[in-house]
Structure 1
Amino acid sequence: MAGSNAGKAARRHAKERQQDPLYDRELEDLPPEMRWREWLMRVEAVIFASAEPVSRKTLSRVVGKDCSIDLLIDDLGEELRDRPYELVSVAGGWQHRTRQRFAETIRASSAPTRGGAAALSEFEAMVLMAVGYFQPVTRGELSKVFGKEVSRDMIASLRGAGFLSSGPRSPTPGAPYTYVTTKHFLSAFGFETLRDLPDIEMLEDAGLLSRRVQAPVDVFDDVETESSDED
């Protein structure tokens, strides 16, 4: 089994080199310290330029095959310690974000910000949270959670903003579509995984959610099924 895995890894690296033969990932002509510094700057450049959190797989494309992404991220975090922005782990990747203590300063400046999440009403935010807890969940089930209708227009708006996508058909009569959250949902709310959602009992005690829908066995499975169909 070990030999098989090693063979697959070697073939993968060979394929990557074949796809982009001119890009030097290994930097073997540089001394170790300069090589590490170049890898560090490459990782920072990719994360800085990306509009979404950058995955480990993406970062591995610009550094050597034996380079530790985790150690690079640790070093980069240290370098940013005294900067007004930091490197955060969110939605299965890494992203540059302004430190919270500068939020008021940025608002006071009225400067346009990049990559801002769509403005949500309180009810839209709660619908998103409910999908996060109970996914895959139908629109009808969401309506039962809140005791009032969750409209098709609201679901379409949340899908259009990239927060939701369609899940599998429900086994209930009529087989309506279910809905699941996306990686953009995790990124916008600052979650690494669905396990970072607030404790559901706290929301119930506050009267914001009612567990009227039976949650799936593993509500934290990260389902992300893209579809343009509506229920």
Structure 2
Amino acid sequence: MTDTPDAPEESLFRAPPLAEQERMVEALLFASAEPVSMSELEARLPHGSDPAEALHLLRKRYEGRGVQVSKVGEAWAFRTAADLGFLMAREQVEQRKLSRAAVETLAIVAYHQPVTRAEIEEIRGVGVSRGTVDQLIELNWIKFGRRRMTPGRPVTYVVTQDFLDHFGLESARDLPGLKELREAGLLESRPPEMEDGPEPQRADDTGDMFDDDADAAPEDDDPIFEDDA
């Protein structure tokens, strides 16, 4: 008597229809926070299912739709259609708190523009770090003005249109004076020598504010960018 090969064991449960398997794959991909691998689909679908074919049908069903079944590495996930990615972009306002040094520097530029770094330091009584100036330039609240026709031709700083827009000013002439600042309580923490100084000169609306050469960056060896101890 010869041994006959064992007949393949028949599953006790029939696999669901392929359309139902497609729905199951869709549900798994939708509910998962991470892309789902083929092995995970095989483990989750009922015995005898064909997750690869179900996934193929699902991908065809979502072709041309707002979301698509995309391959991510060796796994699969729902992703926004590539041509609609721009709809997902959202502008956010980043709140940034200025340091006291930045606030003082900005105020000096606004009231005394066009003003050089040396003049800012003379008014403040302390050095101005490169980081402080860079931060204000990055915010687009100050920019480079004309170079002074003095030895070394130091660059000056002026406020920008963005600065005026941010504070609701039509021009630098609309900046409040010392009296208004004191009444608003904005000078209470200022050193006495700065409070009791002469009334700041408001900048006029001449070309000195927004000169044609205002965006010209200083040369690399310009002392304006040397950090002070």
Q: TM-score, normalised by structure 1?
A: 0.43
* Structure with the largest fraction of helix: 1
Of structures 1 and 2, the larger Rg is shown by 2
